[in-house]
Amino acid sequence: MATITMRQIREGEVPFDGGTAIQDDADRPVFHGNGPDDYVCVVCGNLLAVAMHPVQMTKKVRVRCGRCSTVNVSVIDGYEAPSGGPKRKE
């Protein structure tokens, strides 16, 4: 598994037909999948999504961190990912 740091949304950045998931409990990830990557908050490093595929973490999916309240979004859209996927930290 790789850990991918998400990015903070930019002022006025609103995806078409997207939404923001709110992490109620900072000790529990918002999303659980069966893919290769874990996604963490850009500010505090809190775990937001576990075992996700890049195509599940598109720019339409935003997550408000339960620890620091930062709204995070995927670094790249999963459908735009090059064959190697997003930048990973092993």
Within-domain flag for 87: no
Domain-located, residue 88: no
Q: Is the residue at 72 inside a domain?
A: yes
pLDDT for the residue 89: 54
Q: pLDDT for 70-90, tens place per residue?
A: 999 988 765 555 554 555 555
Q: Which pLDDT belongs to residue 21?
A: 94
Residue 16 belongs to some domain of the structure = yes
The pTM for the full model equals: 0.81
Is 31 a member of any domain? yes
Distances (CA, A) of 68 to 26, 55, 59: 9, 26, 20
The gap from C-alpha 16 to its chain's centroid, in whole angstroms, comes to: 17
Domain of 7 in residue numbering reads as 2-80
In a domain, 64, yes or no: yes
Strands (E), the chain: 2-5, 7-8, 19-22, 31-32, 37-40, 47-52, 61-64, 71-73
**H/E element holding 2?**
strand 2-5
Quote the CA–CA distance of 57 and 38 in Å, as a whole number: 10
Total count of domains within the chain: 1
